[in-house]
Structure 1
Amino acid sequence: MAKKAHLLGFIQHGVNSHATGMWRHPKDKVGWNYARPEYWQHMARTMERGLFDAMFIADELAPYNTHANSSDPIVKYAVQFPTHEPSTIAPIITSATTHLGVGVTLSTAFEHPYSMCRRLSSLDHLSNGRIAWNIVSSYSKSEWEAYGAEMTDRGHRYERLDEYMELCYKLWNSWELDAIIADKESGVYADPSKVHEVVHEGTFFRSRGRHFVAPSPQGQPVLWQAGSSDRGRDFAAKHAEAIFAVLPTVARMRQYSDDLNTRVSERFNRPHGSVRLIYGVQTVVAETREEAQAKYERILACIPPEGALAWMSGHFGLDFSTFDLDDLIQDIEVPGIQGLFESILYARDGAPVTIRDAAIIYAQGMGMPVLVGTPADIADRLEEFMDDGGADGFMLIATYTPGCFEEFVDLVVPELQRRGRYRTEYPGTMLRENLLND
């Protein structure tokens, strides 16, 4: 049987997401306020109407300040600014829907595993089992400076992350299934011998205490990761139930898919198919190719060049204001997010890319493939990414909202369903059920 796609909406809790300058677009948030519940409820209902697995909420903890050693251009051009805290809208989204999950990006850098587990278990209860955690460790200097902390050595990042997860698993698994008695006559609510105290003395963390939240519907949130480096891929293959990657070509998708699947099954002895590979795409769809191309050109026209450079500087940890814009990106090494940098290196299938061009490519949607055309055109490419690239599904990056998701649901989803490449109903009620089932 042909593989069926999984779909997620990629968004940020702010005025602008990952397509720089979209707040300027004449169709962006018309009649909506991104800071109000009604906007998120409508977005959620739109995605659920399209049978999406989840709304995936990215995050950044502080405005980037790498470009010219200032966050001024980030503020000036609304480059992921302002951005509100992601987990606060999870209950708003799940209370407006019955199946749609919510993936929240939460950093391990400045929060202890004990409070992280408590927050995520609480959200999983409130959503009736529809929460995912995108596990990140903060990478930009602006985040560390905002928290008044010294940036940790990259060499120890994954050792710390592994221990972080070890303590999380101990807490989530510390309640036995029959721990709650709730006997009103005797007054005994829970058996203390079955709510185990976790004692952890590690290299990076110490903790002694009981998990303060009863087991949630999923037991623990769905675990999401975006590993790109060699160490990152190992971490993702070891812990994640779904992996998000930005890969600009089918060939890069296939290389990544083969590598991750091998790591999952051979290095970590996990069952084949137990980890979903979700690849980022940006779509611009219309009834005709001419209309779609015109829409795409309008999106490009909204990108501010300086804002694009500032965003690229922030993600890659390198001040691109000090370079000649005609320098080739292939001649530069960056300390920041390696996987996303590769999306620029291979954006033109290996052909040279200048810094000027790289900034605009990145500002469109972090180097993801941009699919412009009719519903059939878009469906053709998505099928190619699944069949030849090994994708299990797609993270649909926002352009103007909520219109980009409404258009995809109204135009592309029916085309995928007609081809038998997309579900016609949800297989379950909890996120893990929907994500791990075809």
Structure 2
Amino acid sequence: MTAKKKAHLLGFVQHGVNSHATGMWRHPKDKINWDWTKPAYWQHMARTMERGLFDAMFIADELAPYNNWEGSSDATVKYAVQCPVHEPSTIVPIITTATKHLGVGVTLSTAFEHPYSMVRRLSSLDHLSSGRVAWNVVSSYSKSEWDAYGADMTARSGRYERMEEYMELCYQLWDSWSPDAIIADRESGIYADISKVKEVHFDGEFFRSHGRSFVAPSPQGRPVLWQAGSSDRGRDFAAKHAEAIFAVHPNVDRMREYSDDLTNRLETRFNRKPGSVKKIYGVQTVVGLTRSEAQEKYERIRECIPLEGALAWISGHFGPDFSKYKLDDIVQNIEIPGIQGLFDSIIYAKGGAPVTVKEAALIYAEGMGMPRLIGTPKDIADQLEHFLDEGGADGFMLAATYTPGCFEEFADLVVPELQRRGRFRTEYAGPTLRENLLQH
């Protein structure tokens, strides 16, 4: 008898007042007696996720307020559409000193930071966390980010060539110290064997670097690498580099299609072993002790969404200024230069039926087009099992609604139900994030 696949879980948040459900700061249960700008809030969130045996807290990011809607960031700021947002890596030590096993995935863009400083930062965080850091590798996609940095937005077609070179330099820097390079011989005064600390000489089309990495090997050697490639080129990049791939699909059929495609790329194009890359799909859960209680909670969440804020968000994520379209225009007829994979989650939100601009904004504002699982712990466990068995999922990214309550409810109600079914771990595999992520 084949053993049942056990799910991996991650909490999906931003280092900000509001994450991936627009308007949640208005919710009567959101951050009661908590200040999201203070360490205590993040420590509590981390301990909650660790109590639920989550792999990691995954911190999404955006580098500047979206400014596509009506050519301004006014609506983004006015309605707290993922704004304000603080720098994600700053809370890694706060989270990891409050926990023993929980990992932290940080989203950091390759667009405006040199690989040398990126390697130094991530290796430093891996040391401070005892090997519990992941890097979600992204290139900046929104106009607002390029405007804020005073740079001309690069063509989408050339971004992956640049990212490939970026990663190659990062790998050379991470691998430049041999594991036994540090001698620390007090008698001779020699701390490191220089023959085992390579000097990197890199001259690429986009980057140059000549020197030794400034950081000795960290517990994981390299951070765990995450990616969310959705286009054809993006899927290849993810299949080549990532140890976990995050995707948003509105239903099990789309999950299965993506899973099969990624598995084929992993095995045939990049010769990677089965099970070595985890496919993590986004879901949003609303848990109640009864179905009617869960439905009431869901309706309250929807009531918090401001339409203009929702429209500003899809403008920022997908590229067009949706103020130039009518609310009843069909989004399938609109060309999208932004995140195509997430836009697909909107296109198929109604099973392929036409979706209006208004519907798209409100659906996306609930949780980026992720499947919404609303019901009792048993109902939600049923759906997650379905996604594991029929959709090819290895785990789930749980999008926040009101915090910290949504994660408290999942950890205390849904996790025990998954454990009873043999679909979730009862203890961590080891001290590092990579060990826990690869746990079967």
Shorter-chain TM band? over 0.9
Question: Structure 1 CA distance, aligned partners of 2:335 and 2:388?
Answer: 31
Picking from 239, 243, 246, the partner of 1:244 is: 246
Once the two structures are TM-superposed, the CA of residue 340 in structure 1 deviates from its matched residue by: 0.3
Q: Residue 205 of structure 1 aligns with which residue? A: 207
Secondary structure, counterpart of 2:12 in structure 1: strand
Q: Residue 122 of structure 2 aligns with which residue? A: 120
Once the two structures are TM-superposed, the CA of residue 213 in structure 1 deviates from its matched residue by: 0.4
Alignment of 1:226-265 (within 5 A): 226-265=228-267
Q: Give the count of matched residue pairs.
A: 438
Picking from 425, 429, 438, the partner of 2:427 is: 425
Q: Residue 159 of structure 1 aligns with which residue? A: 161
Secondary structure, counterpart of 1:281 in structure 2: strand
Question: Structure 1 CA distance, aligned partners of 2:157 and 2:54?
Answer: 37
Secondary structure, counterpart of 2:184 in structure 1: strand
Are 1:367 and 2:359 an aligned pair?
no
Question: Structure 2 CA distance, aligned partners of 1:292 and 1:76?
Answer: 30
What is the one-letter code of the residue matched to 1:423?
Answer: R
Once the two structures are TM-superposed, the CA of residue 214 in structure 1 deviates from its matched residue by: 0.5
Q: Residue 181 of structure 1 aligns with which residue? A: 183
Once the two structures are TM-superposed, the CA of residue 4 in structure 1 deviates from its matched residue by: 0.3
What is the one-letter code of the residue matched to 1:103?
Answer: G
Picking from 21, 24, 32, the partner of 1:22 is: 24
Q: Residue 278 of structure 2 aligns with which residue? A: 276
Question: Structure 2 CA distance, aligned partners of 1:190 and 1:321?
Answer: 60
Q: Structure 1 residue runs of 4+, over 4 Å off?
A: none
Once the two structures are TM-superposed, the CA of residue 177 in structure 1 deviates from its matched residue by: 1.6
Once the two structures are TM-superposed, the CA of residue 178 in structure 1 deviates from its matched residue by: 1.3
What is the one-letter code of the residue matched to 1:369?
Answer: P
Gaps of 5+ in 1: none
Are 1:220 and 2:222 an aligned pair?
yes
Once the two structures are TM-superposed, the CA of residue 349 in structure 1 deviates from its matched residue by: 1.0
Picking from 344, 348, 357, the partner of 2:359 is: 357
Higher mean Cα deviation, 91-100 or 150-159? 150-159
Alignment of 1:27-176 (within 5 A): 27-176=29-178
TM-score, scaled relative to structure 2: 0.99
What is the one-letter code of the residue matched to 2:5?
Answer: K
State the Cα deviation string for residues 131-163 of structure 1 (Å, max 9, x = none). 000000000010001001111111110000000
Picking from 341, 344, 356, the partner of 1:342 is: 344
Secondary structure, counterpart of 1:423 in structure 2: coil
What is the one-letter code of the residue matched to 1:24?
Answer: R
Question: Structure 1 CA distance, aligned partners of 2:245 and 2:433?
Answer: 15
Q: Residue 327 of structure 1 aligns with which residue? A: 329
Question: Structure 2 CA distance, aligned partners of 1:291 and 1:300?
Answer: 15
State the Cα deviation string for residues 205-260 of structure 1 (Å, max 9, x = none). 00001010000000000000000000000000000000000000100000000000
Picking from 174, 191, 210, the partner of 2:193 is: 191
Q: Residue 401 of structure 2 aligns with which residue? A: 399
Once the two structures are TM-superposed, the CA of residue 85 in structure 1 deviates from its matched residue by: 0.2
Once the two structures are TM-superposed, the CA of residue 397 in structure 1 deviates from its matched residue by: 0.2
Once the two structures are TM-superposed, the CA of residue 103 in structure 1 deviates from its matched residue by: 0.0
Question: Structure 2 CA distance, aligned partners of 1:116 and 1:32?
Answer: 31
Secondary structure, counterpart of 1:15 in structure 2: coil
Secondary structure, counterpart of 1:181 in structure 2: strand
Secondary structure, counterpart of 2:261 in structure 1: helix
What is the one-letter code of the residue matched to 1:131?
Answer: V
Once the two structures are TM-superposed, the CA of residue 41 in structure 1 deviates from its matched residue by: 0.1
Once the two structures are TM-superposed, the CA of residue 294 in structure 1 deviates from its matched residue by: 0.2
Once the two structures are TM-superposed, the CA of residue 351 in structure 1 deviates from its matched residue by: 1.4
Picking from 289, 292, 300, the partner of 1:290 is: 292
Gaps of 5+ in 2: none
Question: Structure 1 CA distance, aligned partners of 2:168 and 2:373?
Answer: 40
Aligned residues with identical type, % of pairs? 77
Are 1:311 and 2:300 an aligned pair?
no
TM-score, scaled relative to structure 1: 1.00
Once the two structures are TM-superposed, the CA of residue 352 in structure 1 deviates from its matched residue by: 1.3
Secondary structure, counterpart of 1:433 in structure 2: helix
Question: Structure 1 CA distance, aligned partners of 2:20 and 2:51?
Answer: 23
